[in-house]
Structure 1
């Protein structure tokens, strides 16, 4: 089996590349690229059903979460599902195992890039929106009743969706056909204007700052402020309860707040950990002025591929977090798993 460094890989990296493909045999290919051939199909096979399952279970509203939180979680699951469809499923698996196909037609792969970028922006910024919602709920008592509502959550999700699509449209115009066959443009070759134009350079840098630089900073800041507020409030409530009833009894408000915080920190912590490698590498690449990769064994290329793999994994982790942190979600999941099994048993009974 042959692996090629051509438009398939280097277009993903948004870096200059040679038009002549570098051909390497399987024996010459680093382990990370062999892992990649299996990794993305597995992510696609897992990511689609788990996100669909999360959407169905959360939409039923029986997980003990407020309608506001539920809306954000459903929106995040839907955006993660889109990322899985457009990245590991269509972009990696589709182009690797089903070629040539319509996915290689220039307008199709250009549109796919726009949709992938939009869904990635949406997934990232909905995580920020959810973090901000929990910050308001805990730290801003006066604003809480007006902002932390189902209607506001819907407006925020809709706004983020529209903006994510609009800021991603320019990516459609960075490609040109590599070949014209029977009047049909094939393959996506990055135009040299993208690398030589000041405007495109500014747009590329702005896009990378928007995702993930600013979101990571905002999430860390909001979580730090939320943590500080929780610690202060916890000490005050312990003193008040201790002076009023000797510290006995269960503080139901603090228990509910604790569950909400565990969910928040689990989601945002997972997001930061899985995006951190790409964030750090992007900063290093700019500082070290890494412009291109010479071979498969280039350490910079290998690190970047690892960062891509971790980023895609972030689209599949939230459902696992719900299972681990939310007991009612686990119960609903059990019912969802048992339902088709019970139906099969009933059908098979004489």
Structure 2
């Protein structure tokens, strides 16, 4: 499983790499304690957790070095220490041990996704994927995809008046979408039927984007079969439907999970800010779309991305593909920075692969 993340400055990477085994183990315990409880940990508690014998004074000296390196900080005077966002990034990239999805969780993911995909629209199946990830992670499940990913069964042009027609798109999953189209001047009524027949002879099982690409590649065939005005209608119809259907849509489930296990008033304020982030759908979609670039799971931590700069949240996301191995969407989990990365990273990755297999088989 590939993991991708923003790279740290060279100086920081070098400083982190120079940590000795004792410093790494103390840092690991601080991070793992934070991920488990959300609470700072002090030198006395660390002395009981460490697999080596160290006095609290020796541990405090190491903690001072870790703090100077920017990996941990003290949230309050005389408090224990928490990892910084840079420290979390170092832990996730260099120290996190990623396991595999358990057999029970694999079976649950596969069963729920197959049931959701059977006889339902793609959007319904993806909404179930979002809810599934939310329930398993106790975070918010998110999915972004494009409506142009739906495979089509039929297209029809219905004239409304001399200057306008309705383009009716029927998906293989039974979904129906209507788009308004401006008609070329002087277009005969028969041209609407001819354009529909021409497209329907080629449309079954293809997405709008696939169909547009095929028509562009075989333009000479279209010009031989259709007159100039009807060919213009075909191109205008495809441009209208693809342009409209390419709108990215965001599905979010399980925001209420984020209200659980709040430790203090500042946690409630952080969640309020995260809810505001989720309401700004464009920014969330832009962030998820970044996960389409490259292979594997992407991990975004806190202020590494401006979207989460105030709420201090993290996102784990992975792309999914259709039968032609084209990336057609991204799914993931959003939650506090103390997400259980070791468990959620493989869960997100596996769910994305299950959806990809379902899309490859045409659901």
- Whether these two folds match at TM > 0.5 is no
Larger RCO (CA within 8 A; separation ≥ 6): 1
- Write 1 or 2 for the structure with the bigger share of helix: 1
- Write 1 or 2 for the structure with the bigger share of strand: 2
Of structures 1 and 2, the larger Rg is shown by: 2
TM-score, structure 2 normalization: 0.24
